[in-house]
Structure 1
């Protein structure tokens, strides 16, 4: 059984950037637009998500201010070596299915497929005083001590969090019940992962994966794309950068051609729709509860100009 402690896995850089986002200005008059008219609740899901994030940040910022937390410096996250253009991100949840893309980018930027890439440069570690400030800030933001909240996702993952930090306080104000919000938010946000997990265990997908493994074997034996990437990463350690890049593209193209010829990605996508529909039915009550809490938060945010 895997347990995730959601309150403490925020890195120093992420925490600094989170706090930096919170110290910005607030919206105008409570519940009013620039013309003084009542603000409506946004209609689009993205706009609603943005409003809830902004509202949580504003409420958490007030809480941190009340606790007189020290300010922290913001460290920029590493963005790769100078002169190197970022690799465009593509979603390939069931293996790369674009041979031309693979020929140009290899495995790079193939999100959602557990790609094997070189480790990113580590952010500079803070000094002792800064580290202590970060720890105090993390305690104030996410809580400390025993994690009172716990829930299990559809994939069996146990997620825990504190209820005494400023984020928890913000969620209590915004949604009315932090424990219910935590339980439904974690569960609903993991339904996509649950659908993907069911796909990987579906006999129809396993059959397509076996076809893919037979297809790719002349280039490199592997049971699935993740193993192919791991093999490349292991072999690349003994190669110079150019050779490693060439081998990566060779493996990536082989993966993509076999994904295409066996319809591995198409099979996964079709099965995912089926399993996602099943999960929505199984978790209908929880999804409805989550929707109600979101609506409560949106109305509160608009009413109070957050």
Structure 2
């Protein structure tokens, strides 16, 4: 999460911190708001990559139909090309590109799956409802994400300094209510349980991924990579 420092005048950036279940540090919120930069005017940006950039991208990631496909624990379908320099390097390193892609995607998305299970857990939903009632006097919002969206809608019509002040106000409200309702601690506690359950459910995939990773490490050492 990054911010312009708090006063709309670009004093710096917010230190990187993770708040997966809402900001729980009122002091941080007072200094950095949500950590979202406030725009200081429109900037024209090119929307099309140069031909040279496209050629480099094609060489690295491949072209044409994406032959590799797998579904994550959250139901997301992830696809990739089996040609290109990156795919060839993985094929050489891990021995089986298809197995590596499938297990790598699965393992890398277990954290997101645990987070999703937390947000669907009745215990967390109850804490979230308490949080929503807590922030209501300042802004109606069913979740921290909705509170950010509400700020973004209102900030469009404000000067940078005013938008920053509103962001800080909303963020401090979020943090105080997260503390008051134990939302973040509830989420973290539930995440440990759901993450453990997922590791059990995906034990075979995790073991296969570890085996392929070890194969890659041995290959790299053997060939001085």
**Higher helix proportion, which one?**
2
Check the 8 A contact 2:124/2:183 in 1, yes or no: yes
Matched, 1:202 2:121: yes
C-alpha distance in 2 between matches for 1:123 and 1:149:
36
CA 1:153–1:188 in 2, change beyond 3 Å: closer, same or farther?
Answer: same
1:86-138 CA-partner distances (Å, limit 9, x unpaired): 21111100000011111111111xxxxxxx654698795499xx711211211
C-alpha distance in 2 between matches for 1:245 and 1:301:
49
Aligned residue for 2:70, secondary structure, equals strand
Deviation at 1:82, TM superposition (A): 9.6
C-alpha distance in 1 between matches for 2:118 and 2:194:
7
C-alpha distance in 1 between matches for 2:110 and 2:39:
29
C-alpha distance in 1 between matches for 2:51 and 2:156:
37
Check the 8 A contact 1:95/1:255 in 2, yes or no: yes
C-alpha distance in 2 between matches for 1:151 and 1:123:
37
Partner residue of 1:279 out of 198, 208, 214: 198
Give the equivalent residue in structure 2 for 1:292. Answer: 211
C-alpha distance in 2 between matches for 1:119 and 1:288:
46
Aligned residue for 1:91, secondary structure, equals coil
CA 1:96–1:86 in 2, change beyond 3 Å: closer, same or farther?
Answer: same
1:129-181 CA-partner distances (Å, limit 9, x unpaired): x7112112111111111110100000000000110111110001100001100
C-alpha distance in 1 between matches for 2:125 and 2:15:
29
C-alpha distance in 1 between matches for 2:39 and 2:62:
30
**Structure 2: which 5+ residue stretches go unaligned?**
none
C-alpha distance in 1 between matches for 2:54 and 2:133:
51
Check the 8 A contact 1:232/1:248 in 2, yes or no: yes
C-alpha distance in 2 between matches for 1:297 and 1:303:
10
Matched, 1:259 2:178: yes
Aligned residue for 1:156, secondary structure, equals coil
Check the 8 A contact 1:117/1:233 in 2, yes or no: no
C-alpha distance in 1 between matches for 2:89 and 2:19:
36
Deviation at 1:239, TM superposition (A): 1.3
**Structure 1: which 5+ residue stretches go unaligned?**
1-78, 109-115
**How do 1:57-76 residues align onto structure 2 when only pairs under 5 Å count?**
none
Matched, 1:95 2:22: yes
TM-score (norm 1): 0.68
Alignment: residue pair count: 219
**How do 1:143-154 residues align onto structure 2 when only pairs under 5 Å count?**
143-154=62-73
- Taking only aligned residues, the RMSD between alpha carbons, in angstroms, comes to 2.3
C-alpha distance in 2 between matches for 1:185 and 1:157:
14
Give the equivalent residue in structure 2 for 1:107. Answer: 34
Give the equivalent residue in structure 1 for 2:189. Answer: 270
C-alpha distance in 2 between matches for 1:298 and 1:134:
31
User: Which aligned runs of 4 or more in structure 1 are off by greater than 3 angstroms?
Assistant: 79-84, 116-127
C-alpha distance in 2 between matches for 1:211 and 1:160:
39
Deviation at 1:226, TM superposition (A): 0.6
Deviation at 1:84, TM superposition (A): 3.4
